Amino acid sequence: MVDVGRSDGGPRSAVVVGAGIVGLSTAWFLQERGVEVTVVDRTGVAAGASWGNAGWIAPGLAIPLNEPTVLRYGPRGLLSPSAPLHIPLTADPGLWAFLARFAANCRWSSWTRAVRANLPLNDECLEAFDVLTANGVDAPTVDAPITAAFESSRHAQGLLRELRRMADAGQPVDHVELDGDALREYVPTASRTLTAGVRIDGQRHMDPGGFVQALARSVVARGGTIRVFEVADIRQDGGGVTVRSRGGEGVSADVAVVATGAWLSRLASRWGVRVPVRAGRGYSFTVPVDRPVPGPVYLPDVRVACTPYQGALRVAGTMEFRDPDAPGAPARLEAIIASARPLLDGVDWENRRDVWVGPRPVTPDGRPLIGAVREPGVYVAGGHGMWGLAHGPITGRLLAEQITTGKQPEALRAVGPLR
């Protein structure tokens, strides 16, 4: 791995490409270490996966996607556009190459490696949020269990097995099994179809777009600059690096960090990063409810996540492997509604707002890409899958440490981008 020289104590300036939770957290923690920061994004703050996701800070449910059991969803995802996992028939060779690598990693040894790689991120993610909110990021995070709801105790066994495997791999998760009556205490909207639950304790939730906007305001208040243009290239330039737009506009600094989410591979592949990142697109919308929902609700059987949001309920779901810039598919939204409607009462499904589709950055081995690449002075941070919101701040803190000290933290060894 290549780092910039540190005879003067480290870099004085940085350009961070990407104004989502990962990029802005990295910018904030670089500022904490005395680095002058410019953030560049092609669209603006929280324009990608950082806005419309479920808003969970849920280390207890940061379960890697590459479980062997996920392979049973593959054929259904090809045949049915309403399946929770959808893989459209396409001529894209890059997608099929990615899916082949993903399938090869759907084995317990690879899954366990991913769990262990995520352990330090899970262990410190809540503390990293607390550092931000205690030092100028004016947005709350809310402590609340996440309640998983099932049609029967037999259906709950799948999640319970996952939690046992997480514990065996070194990630114990505090949880309590619930009967139907206890379930309705935590999920007042649960229909009579749901008769069992699992309460996952020690988790949090928040308004993700509001939090990332507050994080951006804090970066600016601390002297940072946010600029909007699409980055075409990043090159060494006289001992530093220059980030250039397609129109020739440039920003120079001592180092650059690329945190562009599902678009990461478009730049990173030229710097020796062989692990691809693809868009696992999710959909969400907000609907009114006729009674308060005290905390997040997970419907594992249909892969739907629900979160209290601005007096209503944000509903998020599906995993769709498609180009990150492709338009949303209305059928995917209808599939989420059709699957969740029988399970929740008191929800006004027809009065939807904030309809959104966003690309979550997925790697084939279930591990993010965080650290230095072959281009001197360039770092990447991304590929967190469904857990970028939860792991964004701790990623930024650890990467800022590596950038300013020249030493790779132990927590980042298993997620190095040149693996």
What span, in angstroms and rounded, lies between the C-alpha atoms of 293 and 187?
7
pLDDT for position 86:
67
Token code pair at residue 218 = 């804090």
Q: What is the pTM of this model?
A: 0.93
Are the beta carbons of 187 and 297 closer than 8 angstroms?
yes
pLDDT for position 6:
40
Give the domains, in start order, of the chain with CATH numbers. Answer: 13-415 (3.50.50.60)
What span, in angstroms and rounded, lies between the C-alpha atoms of 187 and 181?
10
Strand partners, 150: 196
Are the beta carbons of 277 and 94 closer than 8 angstroms?
no
pLDDT for position 248:
84
pLDDT for position 239:
82
Strand partners, 177: 198
The residues, ordered by sequence, that sit 6+ positions from 75 with a Cβ below 8 Å of its Cβ are: none
- Burial class of 136 by CB neighbour count within 10 A (0 to 12, 13 to 18, 19+): middle
Q: Over the chain (419 residues), what is each successive 10-residue block's mean pLDDT? A: 47 97 98 98 86 93 90 60 66 85 94 96 97 97 97 96 94 96 95 97 96 97 96 88 90 97 93 94 95 95 95 93 87 92 96 93 97 96 95 98 97 97
The runs of H, that is alpha helices, within 178-291 are: 180-186, 208-221, 264-268
pLDDT for position 226:
97
Kind and range of the H or E run holding 117: helix 108-133
The residues, ordered by sequence, that sit 6+ positions from 259 with a Cβ below 8 Å of its Cβ are: 16, 17, 18, 20, 22, 23, 26, 380, 381, 382
pLDDT for position 48:
77
Q: What's the residue count for the chain?
A: 419
pLDDT for position 4:
40
What span, in angstroms and rounded, lies between the C-alpha atoms of 388 and 141?
16
pLDDT for position 80:
61
Token code pair at residue 164 = 């046992």
The three-class DSSP label of residue 239 is: coil
Q: DSSP state, 369? A: E
Amino acid residing at 175: H
The residues, ordered by sequence, that sit 6+ positions from 185 with a Cβ below 8 Å of its Cβ are: none
Token code pair at residue 402 = 């590596």
Concatenate the DSSP letters of all residues of 299-323 into one string.
EGGGTEEEEEETTEEEEEEEEEES-
What span, in angstroms and rounded, lies between the C-alpha atoms of 113 and 39?
33
What span, in angstroms and rounded, lies between the C-alpha atoms of 281 and 85?
10
Q: Which of 49, 2, 11, 19 is nearest to 219 (CA)?
A: 19
Are the beta carbons of 51 and 208 closer than 8 angstroms?
yes
